[in-house]
């Protein structure tokens, strides 16, 4: 791109190339992207777009060359035209694999498939089922890496061994730093021990030990999920617990168990609750111990897990010893059911619509943070406090109002009123799409009315996690926020991402984190974002429908150093 006329014309040329790609006009797109690259050959995204055009035209040699050049230059947020991936090198390597298969060069295709997997391709099930890759599926090394096998006639021990071998390969292939795991030696030793113990363990016990194994990966997103077709693993108690400073309490329950609301749990089947929580702790993947405080109340509901750990007499029921505020204790027998598996209740937090939720049964109205926890985002102007309260519960779009439009409405409210404080409440926010938060962050940075010490407060807690942790970290780095509540459920820099795969024999699902989010400085080794004003949740406040965190923010008038 040398002459001035060519430089000035380049944006129009680029727009034409993008339009042709989005319209699927591949002949025009190929020609236009060739011109774009002739003017500027330095951007890997342009080469990737050229590769897409040639790929759809089945110009496979030209497509492979273009994709290779994109890999050499690197790509970022690269989106192909229709059915391509999301800017990861393994997407390009997969396309190159397909090119060589269509060219009939099976050996080179096999090499590129190995590179695709080595670069972290996420969906091995898609690779198994891709008819274009069928010529490679007969190769033993490919069958092993993709987990292709006929398991119809295998024994139980053989099936579990096949699954665990796949677990080992996928953990070491996907995780952010497999060398750290291998050097530690604990993972390999635990895996070998689990394989040897298969004949002596029930399926539920293997599931428990697999959770213990994946805990060693060392991050909160790496998890073991249950097979929906295995009801024996899906049984859960029809109550929801929460761990307050005073202990573990029942905060929600199926309607027929509403009488248990507000009771403190002392024991399960005679086992002290402290021993139960300690036995569950090693099974919980986490970035920090705050996340355990959030997760362990869900784990207490899983009766098959508690039975496999030897804590319950039966896998489908539990006897709860409960204490009331008056000091009296009672024992209640609860049967587990399948109506609300843990993962469903987790996303229906704080309670499913058909359940009874303690704050809604009290005579005084719930505080703001408990009023709309199922809504992704909402705000309320508090004129008497000269504040705006913004609760951000999930980093996901609300169908009726996109987040950018919501952002403009919120800041319009601030500008139109005498607002001295903006309170952002992230206590329920366990993540979503990090990139969705950027327009809000940019708008907030320039909002001098509230982006100042004493004007911007962020309430965080144990469930502030994943994309919400990234948002928290960005607020800490780029705004004048004062943090209130308890430490967040993740680290300022953490390994995370969700891309599950299914184990062919057992049906269990695994997620192994494959991205490192360095949202803070490289030297930031904190285990959580700490609050300046530490206000942990207490049952006393919860049962009185009070919010000490927000009360403190609204009452804080002193503008001291750091606040």
Query: Which residues lie below 8 Å from residue 95, measured CB to CB, with a gap of 6+?
Result: 51, 55, 63, 64, 67, 84
Please give the model's pTM, rounded to 2 decimal places.
Answer: 0.93
Residue 485 bridge partners (DSSP): 460, 534
CATH code for residues 368-491+526-555: 3.90.226.10
Contact 224, 216 (CB under 8 A): no
Tell me the pLDDT band of 81, cut-offs 50, 70 and 90.
very low
Cβ neighbours of residue 21 under 8 Å, at least 6 residues apart? 29, 33, 49, 52, 53, 81
Average pLDDT, the chain: 93
Q: For the stretch 8-29, what's the b/e string if a residue is b when 16 or more beta carbons lie within 10 angstroms of its beta carbon? A: eeeeebbebbbebbeeebbebb
Structure confidence by residue, pLDDT tens digits, 145-166: 999 999 999 999 999 999 999 9
Pairwise CA distance, residues 382 & 445, whole Å:
22
Question: What is each CA distance from 538 to 244, 248, 543, in whole angstroms?
Answer: 5, 11, 9
Q: What confidence category does residue 85 fall into, taking pLDDT thresholds of 50, 70 and 90?
A: very low
Report residue 76's pLDDT band, with 50, 70 and 90 as the boundaries.
confident
Contact 539, 429 (CB under 8 A): no
- Residue 542: which of 370, 354, 345 has the closest Cα? 370
Which H or E run contains 11? helix 4-22
**pLDDT exceeds 90 at position 251:** yes
Q: Which of 165, 151, 114, 162 is nearest to 136 (CA)?
A: 114
> How many of the other CB atoms lie within 10 Å of CB of 39?
16
d(CA 288, CA 537): 18
Q: Contact 113/142 with Cβ under 8 angstroms?
A: yes
For residue 563, pLDDT over 70 is answered with: no
Overall fold of domain 4-146: 1.25.40
Are 268 and 305 in contact, with CB atoms under 8 Å apart?
no
Does domain 235-351 match CATH 2.60.40.1180?
Answer: no
419-to-263, 533, 553 alpha-carbon distances in Å: 40, 22, 14
- Residues near 241 by Cβ (< 8 Å), separated by ≥ 6? 248, 249, 250, 251, 265, 297, 298, 300, 301
pLDDT tens, residue by residue, 490-542: 999 999 998 899 999 999 999 999 999 999 999 999 999 999 999 999 999 99
Distance CA 425, CA 193 (A): 45
């Amino acid at each position: 791109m040398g002459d001035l006329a060519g430089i000035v014309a380049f944006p129009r040329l680029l727009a034409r190339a993008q339009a042709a790609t989005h319209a699927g006009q591949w002949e025009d797109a190929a020609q236009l992207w060739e011109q774009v690259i002739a003017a500027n050959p330095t951007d890997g995204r342009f080469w990737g777009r050229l590769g897409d055009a040639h790929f759809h035209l089945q110009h496979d040699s030209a497509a492979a060359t273009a994709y290779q050049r994109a890999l050499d230059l690197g790509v970022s947020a690269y989106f192909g035209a229709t059915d391509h991936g999301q800017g990861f090198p393994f997407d390009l390597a997969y396309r190159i694999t397909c090119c060589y298969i269509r060219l009939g060069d099976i050996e080179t295709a096999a090499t590129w498939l190995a590179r695709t997997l080595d670069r972290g391709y996420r969906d091995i099930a898609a690779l198994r089922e891709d008819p274009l890759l069928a010529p490679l599926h007969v190769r033993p090394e490919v069958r092993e890496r993709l987990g292709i096998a006929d398991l119809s006639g295998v024994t139980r021990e053989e099936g579990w061994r096949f699954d665990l071998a796949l677990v080992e390969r996928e953990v070491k292939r996907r995780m952010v730093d497999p060398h750290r795991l291998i050097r530690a030696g604990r993972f390999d030793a635990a895996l070998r021990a689990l394989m040897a113990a298969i004949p002596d363990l029930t399926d539920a016990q293997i599931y428990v030990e697999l959770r213990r194994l994946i805990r060693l990966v060392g991050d909160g997103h790496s998890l073991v999920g249950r097979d929906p077709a295995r009801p024996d693993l899906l049984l859960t108690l029809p109550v929801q617990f929460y761990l307050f400073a005073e202990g573990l309490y029942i905060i929600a329950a199926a309607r027929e168990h509403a009488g248990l609301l507000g009771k403190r749990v002392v024991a399960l089947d005679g086992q002290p609750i402290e021993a139960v929580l300690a036995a569950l702790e090693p099974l919980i993947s986490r970035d920090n111990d705050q996340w355990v405080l959030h997760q362990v109340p869900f784990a207490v509901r899983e009766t098959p897990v508690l039975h496999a750990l030897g804590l319950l007499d039966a896998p489908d029921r539990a006897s709860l010893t409960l204490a009331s505020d008056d000091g009296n204790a009672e024992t209640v027998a609860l049967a587990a059911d399948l109506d609300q598996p843990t993962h469903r209740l987790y996303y229906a937090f704080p309670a499913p619509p058909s359940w009874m939720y303690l704050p809604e049964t009290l005579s005084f109205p719930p505080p703001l943070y408990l009023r709309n926890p199922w809504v992704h985002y909402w705000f309320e102007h508090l004129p008497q406090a000269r504040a705006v309260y913004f609760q951000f519960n999930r980093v996901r779009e609300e169908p009726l109002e996109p987040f950018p439009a919501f952002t403009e409405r919120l800041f319009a409210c601030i500008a139109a009123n005498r607002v001295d404080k903006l309170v952002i409440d992230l206590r329920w926010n366990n993540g979503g799409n990090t990139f969705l938060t950027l327009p809000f962050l940019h708008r907030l940075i320039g909002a001098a009315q509230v982006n100042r010490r004493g004007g911007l407060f962020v309430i965080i807690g144990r469930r502030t996690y994943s994309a919400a942790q990234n948002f928290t970290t960005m607020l800490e780095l780029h705004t004048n926020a004062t943090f209130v509540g308890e430490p967040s459920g993740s680290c300022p820099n953490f390994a995370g991402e969700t891309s599950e795969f299914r184990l062919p024999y057992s049906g269990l699902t695994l997620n192994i984190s494959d991205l490192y989010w360095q949202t803070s400085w490289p030297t930031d080794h904190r285990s959580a974002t700490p609050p300046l004003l530490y206000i942990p949740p207490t049952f006393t406040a919860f049962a009185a429908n009070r919010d000490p965190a927000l009360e403190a923010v609204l009452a804080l008038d002193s503008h001291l150093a750091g606040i």
